[in-house]
């Protein structure tokens, strides 16, 4: 295996620069020990919130998170204050696998949007475009995949009542609200007719399951939201991107993770944004079975949750594509995402045809 490299930021993309003068002025009044920003770069990957690397005159390293440019029309999305609150609550609860939150700013005169800052956690992030080049041996890849599943089960074991995390959502009726809410978001961002998507939505409505006892759910749990120990890739040292975290049926979280989990025989689009097809990874069914073993939960109806995960991801991709088509984003990656809307809708429909994940 090639020596794993710590996740490294790159040049800030065109049109996504930060106002450093405003940031320095803000930090000078709010965090006197922060120092002046001497370096700004941007972490690659991701289609949602933007993530920046900041280095200061005190030689300290931070990460700044802000919504994407042009996202103000997406009501209820990209809530920086909520993401910061989740990190703060988890930190207070003693959950160790998170970056320490530093400050949240809702004064839009600074960056024209709310944002927050957290400490940087140095480690390796397995991304779709870099992991295949690392030469990870199949036995190691299998252990990493198992660690990912085990950590998800551990996350779902956090007591949401004693920690106060229950305040993050209303678990009763969560699944139906999610199906209805994501469909409404799709309609608000729709650009093309996608009959298979409509069929999948109809199936989800007609087959709503009985909900499981609620837990904290991350809602975007996947390889590129995990920071791994560079000395031992099977050791997860931090979980990132808590923007969609809430409380609800934990199998909704599992389904979302499975919807990112492509296998070697899956389509090119699905394989383009993840690395789960690399040799050594678990299959989707092995993922579900291991989760059942570690959590003690019944996954007999996991197909529903997998299909919902694909449905939700389709809507997210549609929203990003719509933002690009309306000229709010110049990121060239977004121009072809309408193909992803069709592809994921087809993947969900085919899963329903074969009756398994």
pLDDT for 75 equals: 46
pLDDT (mean) for 86-103: 92
Rounded CA separation 99/65 (Å)? 12
| First vs last C-alpha separation in the chain | 31
Burial of 40 (0-12, 13-18, 19+ CB in 10 A): middle
> What are the distances in angstroms from CA 139 to CA 149, 269, 280?
16, 26, 6
pLDDT for 70 equals: 65
Given this structure, which CATH class describes domain 131-354? alpha beta
Angle between helices 138-155 and 284-295 (to 10 degrees): 50
Rounded CA separation 280/273 (Å)? 18
pLDDT tens string 291-329: 999 999 999 999 999 999 999 999 999 999 998 888 877
Domain with CATH 3.90.1200.10 in the chain: 131-354
CATH number for region 20-119:
3.30.200.20
Beta strands in 59-157, from DSSP E residues, in sequence order: 61-66, 101-105, 115-119
DSSP single-letter state for residue 171: -
Indicate if the alpha-carbon torsion angle 318, 87, 170, 306 is positive or negative: positive
pLDDT tens string 142-175: 999 999 999 999 999 999 999 999 999 999 999 9
pLDDT for 327 equals: 80
Cβ proximity of 156 and 254 under 8 Å: no
pLDDT tens string 44-58: 765 578 999 999 998
Q: Hey, is 277 helix, strand or coil? A: coil
Check pLDDT > 50 for residue 205: yes
Mean pLDDT of the chain: 92
Rounded CA separation 354/331 (Å)? 36
Rounded CA separation 251/256 (Å)? 8
């Amino acid at each position: 295996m090639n020596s794993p490299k710590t996740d490294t930021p790159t040049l800030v993309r065109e049109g996504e620069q930060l106002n450093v003068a405003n940031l320095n002025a803000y930090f000078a009044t709010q965090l006197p020990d922060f120092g002046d920003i001497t370096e700004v770069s941007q972490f690659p990957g991701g289609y949602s919130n933007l993530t920046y690397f900041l280095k200061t005159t005190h030689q300290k390293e931070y990460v700044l998170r802000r919504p994407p440019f042009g996202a103000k029309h997406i009501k209820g999305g990209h809530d920086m204050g909520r993401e910061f609150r989740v990190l703060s609550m988890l930190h207070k609860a003693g959950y160790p696998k998170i970056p320490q939150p530093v400050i949240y700013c809702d004064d839009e005169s600074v960056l024209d949007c709310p944002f927050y800052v957290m400490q940087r956690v140095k480690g390796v992030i397995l991304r779709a475009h870099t992991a295949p080049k690392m030469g990870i041996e199949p036995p190691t890849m299998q252990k990493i995949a198992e660690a990912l599943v085990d950590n998800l089960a551990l996350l779902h074991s956090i007591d949401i009542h004693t920690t106060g995390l229950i305040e993050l959502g209303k678990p009763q009726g969560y699944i139906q609200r999610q199906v209805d809410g994501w469909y409404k978001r799709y309609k608000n961002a729709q650009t093309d007719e996608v009959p298979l998507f409509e069929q999948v939505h109809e199936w989800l409505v007609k087959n709503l399951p009985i909900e499981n006892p609620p837990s904290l759910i991350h809602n975007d749990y996947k390889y590129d939201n995990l920071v791994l120990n560079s000395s031992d890739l099977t050791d997860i040292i931090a979980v990132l991107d808590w923007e969609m975290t809430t409380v609800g049926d934990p199998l909704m979280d599992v389904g979302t993770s499975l919807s990112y989990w492509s296998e070697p025989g899956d389509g090119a689009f699905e394989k383009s944004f993840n690395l789960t097809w690399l040799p050594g990874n678990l299959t989707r069914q092995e993922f579900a079975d291991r989760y059942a073993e570690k959590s003690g939960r019944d996954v007999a109806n996991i197909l529903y949750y997998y299909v919902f995960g694909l449905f939700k991801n389709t809507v997210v991709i549609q929203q990003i594509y719509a933002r690009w088509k309306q000229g709010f984003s110049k990121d060239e990656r977004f121009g072809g995402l309408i193909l992803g809307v069709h592809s994921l809708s087809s993947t969900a429909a085919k899963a329903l045809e074969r009756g398994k994940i």
